[in-house]
Amino acid sequence: MATALNIRDIGEARKAALELEARSRGISVAELVRSFIDDGIGQAQAGRDRAAEEETDGGMGGTGILGVITAAGELRVDGRSFLYRPEARVGSQLGDFPVSDLRRGDTVMLAAIKSASASCAVSVMHYLPVVGQVAGLSGNGRGFTVLGAEVELARGGSIEDGDGRPVPVSALEEGSKVAVSGLWEGTRIRATHVRIVDGRPRLRDSITGPLRVDGNGDSYIGASPRAAASPPPPSPCRAAACSWRSASSWCCSSPSRSTWPRCRATTPSS
């Protein structure tokens, strides 16, 4: 139901200006006001549409998005789905693999571009906060340490063996080598998925996470002391590009709209 509009108290100066403009156009004041309202609404809508179209990264640029895969075989991070190129692969210390091999609970870092209606991943990296041997298993097996970092298997977290098969917590043993997916919470890792990787002797131990420095100038990742290291060199990527640094190189992804036709949905169409 339309609401009656009765504009008052616009001032004598505005009234005089409206009458003068209406006479110059050869129309009534009412017609002039209606045209001004229509033009103003159209310009406001065009501005919103333009802003939405120009918002290509939606705050997702820079170092990217870090989150947990919530559906196996899909690029769904913390419940949010992303489009991706059909040939897209996930970069990983374990060896690159297709998006379809992602496990529920895997942690990933992705760079994405955004339009008004969808988000498209242009690069995906498998985030493993720690890779190394299990030590200090707790009584129920859900808590352990790797490279000095405290790890606790989250509720709903899962474990798989070297063949990719789900296994119970009891499969973890002292000395088992694991690749842990999860997120840091203070000085410990809340593990969402654990891969047992005993059969991969060439896989290097590593620990990755926020670096903190105590009052004595000593550096730590979690509770694990780290040797002092020089800061990484600046990113060679252009300011408009999405980027993050791997152990040996920078990964750059320019958010060009030309990538959109090569993206596809993360779930099969019905």
Domain that holds residue 16: 12-54
**Statement: residue 245 has pLDDT above 50:** no
Instruction: Please indicate, yes or no, whether the overall pTM of this predicted structure exceeds 0.75.
Output: no
Whether 96 is in a domain gets the answer yes
Whether 231 is in a domain gets the answer no
> Do 159 and 178 have their domain in common?
yes
Q: What is the mean pLDDT of residues 238-247?
A: 36
> Do 185 and 112 have their domain in common?
no
Whether 1 is in a domain gets the answer no
**Statement: residue 152 has pLDDT above 80:** yes
**Statement: residue 61 has pLDDT above 60:** no
- In the chain, pLDDT over 90 holds for what percent of residues? 35
- In the chain, pLDDT over 70 holds for what percent of residues? 74
> Do 197 and 123 have their domain in common?
no
Q: What is the mean pLDDT of residues 125-132?
A: 94
For residue 262, the SS3 value is: helix
> Do 69 and 89 have their domain in common?
yes
**pLDDT band at 251; cut points 50, 70, 90:** very low
The label of the residue with tokens 């000095």 reads 148
Domain count, the chain: 3
> Do 82 and 208 have their domain in common?
no
> Do 217 and 137 have their domain in common?
yes
